């Protein structure tokens, strides 16, 4: 089974981050600029949480707040669930389903080294299953 390390090698380790003191408007602008659905919240080197488009919709729009006046720390999802590069994708899928999250920061020795999304996990699982099918077809046809 594929592990997170395989996914990060393919997609890269780039993570877009923002300070908890930035405004929600700044976070949304960065998400739009980078075409991502979530940002990691870092205070210095410390992983504080995540902010997603879902947080914005539920905690700003629906509550009548203004993104220009609200700091990220007020709406971020704190205490994020994290994974390591050695975790496999099926474990990640289970974790995302159980915790109802769409993004998982990847940490190594307490340091942020990447992030994966539900889309990355699904693609990785499908790619792995297709590889297994190809290998089985070769085996059946005697083309080892």
Q: Is 90 exceeded by the pLDDT of residue 79?
A: no
Instruction: Check: CB of residue 27 under 8 Å from CB of residue 71.
Output: no
Domains in the chain, please, with CATH?
4-141 (3.10.580.10)
Distance CA 141, CA 137 (A): 6
Span 37-48, average pLDDT? 92
Span 93-111, average pLDDT? 93
Span 129-142, average pLDDT? 88
Comparing 143 with 47, the larger pLDDT belongs to 47
- Note the pLDDT of residue 80: 86
Q: What is the number of other CB atoms lying within 10 angstroms of the CB of residue 144?
A: 6
Distance CA 19, CA 72 (A): 8
pTM of the model: 0.84
Span 41-70, average pLDDT? 91
Span 26-51, average pLDDT? 94
The token duo for 29 is 């602008």
Distance CA 107, CA 116 (A): 11
- Identify which of 136, 95, 137, 141 has the alpha carbon closest to the alpha carbon of residue 118: 95
């Amino acid at each position: 089974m594929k592990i997170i390390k395989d996914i990060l090698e393919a997609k890269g380790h780039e993570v877009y981050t923002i300070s908890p003191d930035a405004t929600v408007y700044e976070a949304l602008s960065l998400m739009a600029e980078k075409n991502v659905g979530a940002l990691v919240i870092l205070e210095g080197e410390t992983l504080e949480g995540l902010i997603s488009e879902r947080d914005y919709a539920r905690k700003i729009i629906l509550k009548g707040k203004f993104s220009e006046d609200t700091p990220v720390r007020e709406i971020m999802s704190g205490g994020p669930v994290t994974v390591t590069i050695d975790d496999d994708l099926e474990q990640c899928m289970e974790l995302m389903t159980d915790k109802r999250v769409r993004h998982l920061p990847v940490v190594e020795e307490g340091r942020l080294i990447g992030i994966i999304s539900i889309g990355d996990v699904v693609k990785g699982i499908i790619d792995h299953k297709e590889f297994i099918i190809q290998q089985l077809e070769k085996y059946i046809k005697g083309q080892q």
